[in-house]
Amino acid sequence: MVEKEKIGIKKEKEGKIPGDDEDGTAKPAGKEGRKIKGTYTAKDEKMISYLEYAKTLTAKFPLFDIDQIPRDLNTQADALASLGYNFTPAIFFKIPIVHLLEPAISKPGQVNPVSTDNNSWTKPYYDWFLRGILPQDMHEARAFRIKTSTYSIINNTLFKRSQPGPYIRCLEPDEAKQVLQEVHDGYCDNHKGGRSLASKVLRTGYYWPTLRADCLEYCAKCEAC
């Protein structure tokens, strides 16, 4: 152990860190690390923009490295994450949700245009808030105006006021599928059934009209649920 510490101190004095290659370059771990190092190509147009932005940020540091810790060496962090997930007192639900309304790759003064499908459930809301267009039928128009009292558009993005109070972002169908997959199968890893999944999506800050039905259908296809 003492010899390893001596080797680590020596490498730090030489401008290296433990775990580096012999030439002092860091060993990137994972797909994102290889993208930063240039050994893995980003193909998606948006990911390419994020990658270029990340490179401009990392260039400001004298030393930058991305390292992946194997799960068997990270048991304490896993246990802490599991404990935090199961410990959900009421005060946690009072934490305000903060949405990033503009991506980091947006240029100054750039306005993201509103583009919705003609069949999208959000189109009537955009038509009313941005263009003042209401349904032609008088009774439908009156009912729709009452319904829009819980909605608002912020930076060309539709939001809905949740029951606890904070605004949550309204998603298009393709965005909803992506969120469902991430919350259920991604880092959030929720396998407690459709109702639990729907509640977690809402707490994360997202909404669409068929949220609960979609969560039940999604979980019905999952063996772990």
Joined together, the tokens standing for residue 107 give: 């240029």
Q: Would 71 be classed as within a structural domain?
A: no
What CATH number is attached to the domain comprising 184?
Answer: 1.10.340.70
Q: Would 81 be classed as within a structural domain?
A: no
Q: Would 68 be classed as within a structural domain?
A: no
Joined together, the tokens standing for residue 128 give: 């009313």
Structure confidence at residue 110 (pLDDT): 52
Q: Would 100 be classed as within a structural domain?
A: no
Q: Would 50 be classed as within a structural domain?
A: yes
Joined together, the tokens standing for residue 164 give: 């606890």
Structure confidence at residue 76 (pLDDT): 82
**Domains held by the chain: number:** 2
Q: Would 127 be classed as within a structural domain?
A: yes
Q: Would 48 be classed as within a structural domain?
A: yes
The domain in which residue 193 lies consists of 120-220
Residue 124: which of 144, 146, 149 has the closest Cα? 144
Strand-pair partners of 160: 151, 168
Q: Would 159 be classed as within a structural domain?
A: yes
Query: pLDDT digits over 112-171, tens only?
Result: 555 566 789 999 999 999 999 999 999 999 999 999 999 999 888 999 998 877 889 999
Spatial separation of the C-alpha atoms in residues 186 and 167, rounded to whole Å: 24
Structure confidence at residue 156 (pLDDT): 86
**CB of 207 closer than 8 Å to CB of 162:** yes
Domain-terminating residue out of 58, 74, 102: 58
Structure confidence at residue 22 (pLDDT): 46
pTM above 0.75, yes or no: no
List, for the chain, all residue ranges whose pLDDT scores fall below the cut of 50: 1-28, 91-92
Structure confidence at residue 210 (pLDDT): 95
